Amino acid sequence: MSATDLSAQANGEPVAEVRPRSRARIERLRDFGIAGVLLILFIALTLSSDVFLTSTNLKNVAEQAVAVGLLATAGSLVIIAGGFDLSAGAIFAVSAIVGSKLANSTGVVEGYLVGILIGAALGLVNGIICTVGRINHFVGTLATSIVFFGLATKISGGALIVVPNQSFADLANTQILGFKSSTLIFVAFALLCGFILNFTVLGRYIFATGGNLTAARLSGVPTAVTQAFTYVLSGTAAGLAGLIVASRTLSVNAQTGNGIIYNALAAILIGGNSVLGGEGAIWRTVCGVLILALIANGFNLLGIDPLYQQIVTGLIILLAVGLDAWTRRART
Amino acid sequence: MRGVSLEIRRGEIHALVGENGAGKSTLAKIVAGVHLPSAGSVSVDGREVRYRSPRQALADGIAMIDQELALLPARSVIDNVFLHSENSKAGLLRRRQMRERFAALVERTGFELDPDRTVGSLRVAEQQKVEIMRALARTARLIVMDEPTAPLTPVEAESLYAVMRSLRDEGVTIVFVSHFLSEVLALSDVVTVMRDGSRVRTSPAAEETPGSLVEGMLGRSLDSTFPARPESVRAEPRLEVRGLCGTGRFEDVSFSVHAGEIVGLAGLIGSGRTEVARAIFGADRVDDGEILLDGEPVSPRSPRQAISRGIALLPESRKEQGLLMRRSIVENIMLPHLDDVSSGGIVRSARERREVVEAMERLSVRAAGPRASVDTLSGGNQQKVLFGKWLIRPPRVMIVDEPTRGVDVGAKRAIYELIDELTASGTAVLLISSDLEEVLGMAHRVLVMRRGRLAAEFSNEGAERTAVLAAAFGTEGRG
Amino acid sequence: MKRLKTSSVLLAALCLALAAVIAGCGSSGSSTSSGSGSGGEGGEGSGEEVKAALLLNIYTDFTQAGREGVEAVIKKAGGSVTPSNAEFEPQKQLAQCQDAITSQRYNVIILGPADSPSSVPCATQAGEAGLPVIAFENPVGPSRTKVEPQVPQVQGSVVIAPMVDAETTFELVEEACKGLPKCVWIDEIGSRSSSLDETKIQYFEEQLKSNPKIELAQLLEGNYLPSETVQKLPNALAANPGVNVITFESDTNAVAAVPALKSAGLEGKVKLIGDGGSVAGAAAIKAGTMFGSVASFPRSMGEKAAEMALQALAKEKISPNGIDMFSLGEPVKLTKANIAEYTPQFGAKE
């Protein structure tokens, strides 16, 4: 105990350079991770079911993924911009109900248009509440989701709305180049979202706003407008999804879309997008959507007790969140 | 960092100096158990140790106070001080005993802190005191401090020096990392100079001069810290501020900055310097007064409007307010100028890339490429990227708030040259800094703020360090 | 570097585990169905082995009784039944239906719609693939109340007629109110946004017009949960201290409400009417804690649906092709007077 004697020696690899290099590798691992899960799922299903790899089935899967996919791709933009939209499921219901009622009273095309516009308008309400109103995004959209579901029940009078006019089904069921129109609408919408995010000024603003709100504002980014835009887009997508579902079954009630928002959020997170904003990609969300759709499809094809589906869905979410956490730990 | 051998004796103040990336922080972190050396060994009291976590180092009496303080902002001072060293019996806290210990710590350090205030409501200097008390509460015998005075005002720094000295006299060993060479020489017993991950030399502080330290750090001598002041001041005032008021923040602030001129804005932290800058930039409300740009009144209501008029602000904290840390250099630099490199809302990536590559060359940013994420860069290079944002389209007025905080000597000089470059193109620069040397070395004129008002103005020739300080503290009358 | 390796190993392990789970489930699933398939030799006269997909709306003790009925009949005929659960979501059910058709593992679909009109596309697509459809529990088609098949692909229909339920419930309310000068009634329902509940309420309101003595004082939303019902009931009791009758969405909720009545000091003063005639409900009627309930026959309904499926596969004529569940057993209106004649078909034993 004479003197605190301390000597530090370090040899070999330069410590300071390890971080960036391993980071790039983990980044790649992370990309590989989610695509790998999807691939494994795909191979496992191909091996265990004869009919999985048929065009009918794959088209079915795509069609089944449409509603969740629309909500999830638009929702990703909200999350990347630093927001969070819990109310998309409720907007889905309101748009579907208003659209169906209008299709009965006025006309099918008017039903479509007004339904989508209502979705955009409710999205704008969310955007204003969360930006101008400075209310926490979770709480704000949780509250509006309750209000919107109430609206849906009120407008529908609690009753089921049936659309007898068969042409209302055209939005979802028209065949184009061998694909259902609903599938094509989703593909187009996802491409649009990806394009906005990666190639436009708005996309830059979305990343900047979610990545560092203060820095974005001080760099002249219209942060409130940017976030509000993502909410409008989310509302529009929810409206579109609601109408597609209503058009598919020619009927809708206030309970339609009850659980859909949780599937959409799950898809976004499974894809590996960060809830914290500022990062993410549409292709990740699409991976998440497809993984969820494939699990459901696989279990249906194999005729398994639905209980397993819940267990495995949960396990996959854990896997995705785990991946995200590992890369995050490696960064700090 | 490679092959560094270092001996730190008990009861000495040991300074580590070097450029950013020289490895001094890494060395300090290895000592404190934050990082694990990939090879080599660490011995404490002659016993070889291999810390896997700061907790293990702490058990040996080694505590680290990081640049970014590790406190629980929502908890009280006393809770933070005794975190993990609580007095307890059967899991229940013994508050009275902890109060007594706290009183003893206050006596020992001279830190008059209210134990019940929440840490988040304290200023940075006071938070640092909480960290020091916590280290002492854990009976630390060796305290590692990374840039402890960077966020402090000169007076606060002085009082920290006093505490460090008295701790040394009690037998506590202090290792500290600093960029302020005068501070290093005045305070430490021993100085270790680092360069490129290696130790250059360790010698008694008495044998070093600022020049010898700089030479050791850079491997060459630096002619002067500050470039020659440019003779670019033009007659016409670029920015004029008349009677600017922001209730509760600042009052009746009037000054002007000419094209090509650098005006320094000095004052203590909290004197309203940053607040004035934010108001001019449209980030905060203005309650009264006028802002004129080239003689035309402007009243930006948002940073976006200010930017479109040609006013730019380089914020004081690059991580919190300046950069998108996880995004690329391109995205950061082009963020305010996207309208220029896009058509129909679509970004022309080839065009923007060209501009950014050009800017990176001019700024000599060291990075893997223009798409490299900003958080992979060193602090100095990050600061250059932040500058690059405005340099590619020189604004009419540029406000720089603490432009060299946390930046090493070599990069400092580069940043000063960038500021001069801006003035050469006719930009009016308002330079806010807590570093008096910097303000005096760079500015054509110096304004001093005190308690939200302009207290004094010095022209370049008449500005004396002591006079500026006196104005900042309001002690002119007494001399 | 070390951390990198561990995490990639971990990732690979997790992926493998995932694949194993999926593949494992796949093999166990197929072995179950083939095992039960080879258990019996041929169906009743038909050359084809029955492989039924049973699309259930939700898993409850009620639908499980139905499932057991279906399985009993089909397994006896040497076939197999694979159930699925739509969890009240029509879209999920449509996906399950499509996938069942695509998988080519089934030759008949017994469809318990999550929502009657929304289930039409499932029937249509099954028809296109040549699979007969039997409607089970709820009708398939635009009308939620019509017992007979509404779309050509549905060859048989055995469903709960909501109007019978509503009528019987109201008869019980009238009986409970007999002799009272004024009768205050609280109705606990599942959810206002449920179309079925809405149908019942509309019927009640219609009936109340000609029964001025009965006053429907309050509607209570229990959201199909005993916990929520029990939580909300004290407020309703405090608001209506003179309440005479409470009807519940299920027997379970009615039985769960008894302690709340006790603590409100209303025990024995209020008549409780349940719905469903479960094991617990029947016992409560016998014991006098419940005034009455509406019977149900889920197991018989399942058996009937399975018989229809067998007939459809054998290309036999199904007659009648629309059956109301309430016609499958007796009595329907349950009170203490006739409870001895009733055998409950679902619910936990005491």
Q: Which residues of B touch A214 (CB under 8 A)?
A: 315, 320-321
Judged by CB atoms closer than 8 Å, whether chains meet at A5 and B46 is answered as yes
- Edge to edge, the sheet with strand C214-221 lists C214-221, C183-189, C245-247, C271-273, C292-294, C333-335
* Chain A residues within an 8 Å CB radius of B331: 204, 207-208
Between strands B250-258 and B262-267, the pairing is: unpaired
Residue C77 to residue A188: CA distance in whole angstroms? 49
B357: its two tokens = 């590559």
Residue C337 per-residue DSSP state: T
Is the pLDDT at B402 greater than 60? The verdict is yes
CB-nearest to B35 from A14, A15, A218 is: A15
Enter the tokens of residue A263: 């599937």
Please, are residues B321 and B263 in contact by the beta-carbon 8 Å criterion? Answer: no
The predicted-structure confidence for B317-376, as pLDDT tens digits, reads as follows 888 888 998 899 999 999 999 988 999 899 998 999 999 999 999 888 888 889 999 988
Q: How wide is the angle at C-alpha B82 spanned by C-alphas B79 and B88, nearest 5°?
A: 95
Name chain B contacts of A28, Cβ cutoff 8 Å.
none
Q: What is the mean pLDDT of residues C135-145?
A: 90
B157 vs C275, more confident: C275
A98-107, C126-135, C224-233, C276-285: which has the minimum mean pLDDT?
A: C224-233
In a domain, A151, yes or no: yes
Q: How many structural domains is chain A composed of? A: 1
User: To the nearest whole percent, how much of chain C has pLDDT over 90?
Assistant: 59
Instruction: Provide the 3-class DSSP secondary structure of residue A8.
Output: strand
Nearest CA in chain A to B173: A4
**Reported confidence tier of residue B213, pLDDT bands at 50, 70, 90:** confident
Residue A292, min C-alpha distance to chain C (Å): 12
The pLDDT mean for chain B works out to 84
Chain B positions in Cβ-Cβ contact with residue A2 (cut-off 8 Å)? 10
Q: Which residues pair with B201 in a beta bridge?
A: B193
What is residue C35's predicted lDDT score, i.e. its pLDDT?
A: 35
Residue A37 lies in a domain: no
Contacts of residue A215 in chain B, CB cutoff 8 Å? Answer: 315, 320-324
Which of A329, A80, A312 lies closest to A205 in space, CA to CA?
A: A80
Inter-chain CB proximity C22 and A301 less than 8 Å = no
Question: Is residue B220 very low, low, confident or very high in pLDDT (cuts 50, 70, 90)?
Answer: low
What tokens does A123 get?
């999205």
Chain A residue with the nearest C-alpha to that of C83: A305
The 8-class DSSP code of residue A101 comes to H
Using a CB-CB distance cutoff of 8 angstroms, which residues of chain A are in contact with residue C205? none
Residue A35 lies inside a defined structural domain of this protein: no
C-alpha closest to that of C325 among C305, C310, C348: C305
Whether residue B395 has pLDDT greater than 50 = yes
Structure tokens at C53: 């997909």
Type of residue at A65: A
Look at residue B280 in the predicted model and tell me its pLDDT: 93
What mean pLDDT comes out for the span C170-186?
94
B224 burial type by CB count under 10 A (0-12 exposed, 13-18 middle, 19+ buried):
exposed
C15/A29 touch (CB, cutoff 8 Å), yes or no = no
Confidence of residue C13 (pLDDT cuts 50, 70, 90): low
User: Across the interface, do B335 and A8 touch by the CB < 8 Å criterion?
Assistant: no
Hey, which residues 31-50 in chain A have their CB within 8 Å of chain C?
A: 33, 36-37, 40-41, 43-45, 47-50
| Predicted pLDDT of residue C28 | 40
Cis peptide upstream of residue C331 (ω within 30 degrees of 0): yes
Cα–Cα nearest to B68, from B127, B108, B7: B127
- Inter-chain Cβ pairs, chain A and chain B, closer than 8 A: 171
- β-strand pairing of B250-258 with C245-247: unpaired
Residues from chain B that touch A12, judged by Cβ atoms under 8 A, are: 2, 38-39
Contacts of B183 (CB under 8 A, 6+ apart): B149, B157, B161
Q: Beta B397-401 vs C271-273: how paired, if at all?
A: unpaired
Measured in angstroms, the CA of A277 and the nearest CA of chain B are apart by 11
- In total, the C-beta contacts within 8 angstroms joining chain A to chain C are 170
- At C150-161, the pLDDT tens digits run 999 999 999 998
Residue range C53-60: average pLDDT? 88
C128 exposure class (CB count in 10 Å sphere: 0-12, 13-18, 19+)? exposed
Place of tokens 């969140």: A321
Whole-angstrom distance, CA of residue B175 vs CA of residue B167: 12
Report the residue of chain B nearest A277, measured CA to CA. B326
Per the CB < 8 A criterion, the answer to whether A231 and A78 are in contact is: yes
pLDDT profile of chain A (332 residues), mean per 10: 38 35 54 76 88 88 92 96 94 94 92 96 96 92 94 83 84 86 95 95 94 91 95 97 89 78 90 86 93 86 74 75 61 44
Of the partner residues A250, A296, A301, the one whose CB lies closest to the CB of residue C117: A250
| Domains located in chain C, CATH noted | 46-160+298-319 (3.40.50.2300), 163-295+332-341 (3.40.50.2300)
Of B42, B323, B376, the CB nearest to A7: B42
Contact between B448 and B267 under an 8 Å Cβ cutoff? The reply is yes
Vertex B186, ends B34 and B268: CA angle to 5°? 80
The top-scoring range by mean pLDDT among A77-91, B377-391, C45-59 is A77-91
- Long-range contacts, A107-110 (Cβ 8 Å, 24+): A108/A165, A108/A167, A108/A168, A108/A170
Residue A241: list chain C partners with CB under 8 A.
none
- What is the per-residue pLDDT across B292-320, written as a single tens digit (0 to 9) for each? 999 999 988 999 999 999 999 998 888 88
Contacts with C22 from chain A: Cβ below 8 Å: 41, 44-45, 48, 298, 312
Q: Does A205 touch chain C (CB under 8 A)?
A: no
What is the Cβ-side half-sphere exposure of residue A180, based on CA atoms within 13 angstroms?
Answer: 24
What is the reported pLDDT for A228?
Answer: 97
Cβ atoms < 10 Å from Cβ of C89:
23
How many angstroms separate the Cα of C322 from the Cα of each of A127, B297, C55, C137? 51, 83, 19, 12
Whether residue C26 is predicted with pLDDT greater than 60 in this model: the reply is no
User: CB-based contact (8 Å) between A22 and chain B?
Assistant: no
List domains and CATH numbers for chain B: 13-218 (3.40.50.300), 237-473 (3.40.50.300)
Place of tokens 């635009």: C142
CA separation for the pair A44, A295 (Å, rounded): 11
Q: How far apart are CA B384 and CA B323, in angstroms?
A: 11
Of B175, B198, B223, the closest CA to residue B410 belongs to B223
SS3 state at A217: helix
Specify the pLDDT at position A329. 56
Q: Which of B45, B197, B345 sits opposite A202 (nearest CB)?
A: B345
Q: Distance, in angstroms, between B457 CA and closest chain A CA?
A: 28
Cα–Cα distance list, C318 to C52, C215, C307, C314, C324 (Å): 17, 45, 9, 10, 15
Between A64, A249, A330, which is nearest C117 by CB? A249
A neighbour chains, 3+ CB pairs within 8 Å: B, C
Nearest beta carbon to residue A217 from set B38, B303, B325: B303
C1 chain-A contacts, CB cut-off 8 A: 18, 22
Subunit partners of chain B (3 or more CB pairs within 8 A): A
Residues contacting A305, CB < 8 A, separation 6+: C83
The nearest alpha carbon in chain C to A56 belongs to: C102
Contact C234, C264 (CB under 8 A): yes
Verify whether the Cβ–Cβ distance B45 to A212 is below 8 Å: no
User: Domain range for residue A98?
Assistant: 51-327
Q: Is the peptide bond before B151 cis (omega within 30 degrees of 0)?
A: no
For residue C233 the two structure tokens come to 């009931």
Q: Which pLDDT value is given to residue C36?
A: 38
How does residue B478 score in pLDDT terms, banded at 50, 70 and 90?
Answer: very low
Cα C250 to Cα C224: distance, rounded to the nearest angstrom? 8
Q: Model confidence over B453-464: pLDDT tens digits?
A: 898 888 876 667
**Averaged pLDDT for residues B441-445:** 88
Structure tokens at B5: 């051998």
For chain C, where are the E strands, in sequence order?
A: 51-56, 80-85, 108-111, 133-137, 154-159, 183-189, 214-221, 245-247, 271-273, 292-294, 322-324, 333-335
Which residues of chain B make contact with A279, given a CB cutoff of 8 A? 326
Q: Is C240 exposed, middle or buried (0-12, 13-18, 19+ CB in 10 A)?
A: middle
| pLDDT tens-place string over residues C220-252 | 988 888 888 888 888 888 888 889 999 999 999
What CATH code is carried by the domain that includes residue A169?
1.10.3470
Q: Does A60 touch chain C (CB under 8 A)?
A: yes
pLDDT at A269: 87
* Rg, chain B, Cα only: 24
Report the distance separating Cα C245 and Cα C173, nearest Å: 7
Inter-residue contact B332 to B322 (CB < 8 Å): no
Residue A21 lies in a domain: no
pLDDT: is C20 or B443 the higher one? B443
Count the neighbouring beta carbons within 10 Å of the beta carbon of residue B343: 10
d(CA C52, CA C75): 10
Q: Is the pLDDT of residue B187 over 50?
A: yes
Mean pLDDT of chain C, nearest integer: 85
Contacts of C29 in chain A (CB under 8 A): 302-304
Q: Which residues contact A39 (CB under 8 A, 6 or more apart)?
A: none
Separation between Cα atoms, residue A324 and residue B12, nearest integer Å: 44
Q: In a mutagenesis test of the A interface, which of B68, B144, B307, B321 is the best target, namely the one with the most A β-carbons within 10 Å? A: B321
DSSP class of residue A166? G
A contact residues 31-90, partner B, Cβ 8 Å cutoff: none
CA B465, CA B479: separation in Å to the nearest integer?
Answer: 13
Check CB contact of A202 with chain B, cutoff 8 Å: yes
From the list B3, B40, B335, which residue is nearest A221 (CB)?
B335
